[in-house]
Amino acid sequence: MLKVDIKAPTHHIEAQNGEIAKTVLMPGDPLRAKFIAETFLDDVVQVNGVRCMYAYTGTYKGKKVSVMASGIGAPTMGVHAWELYHLYDVENIIRVGTTGGIHPDLQIGDLVFAMGACYNTPYADQHKLAGTFSAIADYKLMRRGIDLAEEKNVKHMVGNVFSSDVFYPEFGREDNENWAKMSVLSVEMETAALYIVAARAGKKALSILTVSDHVMTGEKVPAEVREKKFTDMMEIALEIAE
């Protein structure tokens, strides 16, 4: 594990040592973090409000769990995940985010377990690797999540996602069609950075995503649905939290 001299609290997280659990659920949306905390956790305390990246710690069925927003994109996910792993002794980060489906079998509300993340971000370049890094999930977390989805009869797919730095690509449909031809399931913006940070820290990470729109058909749901209605991924993430 990388040794650092920075101490908590930081520029981005105001929580004191010990105020964040070993497992953190990370939605991109701060309001989804608030919803998860208020809906599922007992004895909840807000431990971060810096830049509105709300973080809360409470208990779920007796387990201490935290939930914190990551914001949008690789840089903000990278900053927060790095600090959680290295400065707050977090062992597991489970992203509970939304994703745009590109696989024809995916529908709104389906889950995607991101076994791996293709990417166009240069985030891994800092590690000076003589090749292209494969950003993959922690197998044990993923296996437990998939097992639970099957037990709950929640429709899901498992495979590659594409983590893009560009939300509005110049050649959007063509780009997505090319990724679909490579059996990539969906597109989002944070998973690759999370998996890269976790690998370098020697920690565990998993992205459980809910399809909130389908980029090939144009189907989509409003913000309130993305914030409050996609509870299957939240409950699965809480159940597998260690």
Q: Is 18 left (phi over 0), alpha (psi -120 to 50) or beta?
A: left
Element (H, E) at 114: strand 111-119
Q: How far apart are CA 17 and CA 128, in angstroms?
A: 31
Q: How far apart are CA 88 and CA 15, in angstroms?
A: 9
Distance of CA 11 to the CA centre of its chain: 21
Beta bridge partners of 35: none
Q: Is 71 left (phi over 0), alpha (psi -120 to 50) or beta?
A: left
Active site residue 213: yes
Q: What number of residues does the chain have?
A: 242
Per annotation, catalytic residue among 110, 175, 213, 232: 213
- Provide the token pair at 40: 């599922």
Quickly tell me which residue has 């070993």 as its tokens.
22
Residues designated as active site: 213
